Chains A and B, each alone.
Chain A
């Protein structure tokens, strides 16, 4: 009854807010939807992990039984009771939605991400540095891709129908279709054979040992992985910009501008380019998400200490606490990227924030 009353009160309040502060209400709606999405995602992950056969305790017991040269039926230290007790201690005996509820309570009420079930180390310790590493790598990739694909897209839109355009389109398609994993492996082999680049993507000493040397070494180490991400992403992004530019350049308002004698560079940059921003902002958010998803392969091949590698290990070992924390952080960052894109769109294009109006 109280919930109903609250809903009745919040409804008109929100309508008033939407009328007076449309942008703010738009942002609030997006944030609320992000939280709901994260909660549902967590529940789904928990459910999927539960569907896989066995659990962490069973897998652990099985591996220990194989390792123990003295293990026999008569001196079984892994009795059914001991296994049940271990599951109870870790909360693995509960239905998945209750485990998820407990996890949410622990994270949001007790403000504790908990321990890894395998290593018993605090989750925060395990993911902190790796999350930063992944974020830095993906943001650098995003910036490079954005700037260069914008430049190339605009440039080649002015060369439409020429051989240059044909070659550029062909190259873009080729790179877009080239398997990412193969590209990374080839780049690593190239590094190994040429000796020009390191074969791992991270310096072999920590930042605190020599910050300046580390920074230069880091840039040197990430060059090839960045090139891989760049080559694999540039095709799609450049083609998007080029197509949007061509679309804009064919619009009547461009013809009108040209007929008024406005210089071509101004038409490109001040008018057509501005209107390519909408699809580009949306695609940037998707690009960021795909970079995060693809970084797992990159992190394994190039031994980069990022979150993808950690999550891969956690999923394999069914370390549910670590998997959940990883998924939540990655999803949060991706959703944050998408919401930032939505907000940027709403700022650039006020019509978007008014929805059906």
Chain B
């Protein structure tokens, strides 16, 4: 590994970790809503949430670029506050967060749906408020799916390419992640470095998956003992 590689890995890991952190809170809220709420408008929310899964990432990236650009009210408001997002690391974070959000929500939602709502009801009759019932019953019973979702989101963020390049560009030292670097290096005929970066991403993916596996199995054993 060269010095440049290390920086690249550190930046990519930081972005992936940060976007996973950003995804978890709102993602859990969204997943709970979809798992429990049966009211009108549910289908619309569901479709909107799944959009980043089915759209080409470049299309999502372009939409984000348009939303944050100087021609949109949001973009103007951000610039007026001195917040420049486009073509900075914040844009990378935004792109990876948006792209990994639906993956996390899907996994967490399935996990929440598998928690018997009556158990939550029982927790309520035993004196728990809704928040306490969530942390004492729903989450402990669904944590595997939530963790799996977080790993999925993390892995997706590690490998995000299309949306990132649209909204953040591919600026070495500023917005270039591992995935973007692999593309650039191979475009420029630096096959050896490209392959080395591929090897690093493979190692990172393995590490993430094995960590989850180890965590879930260890917990499973202590739970069932």
A and B co-occur in one complex? no
B residues sitting closer than 8 Å to A (CB atoms) are: none
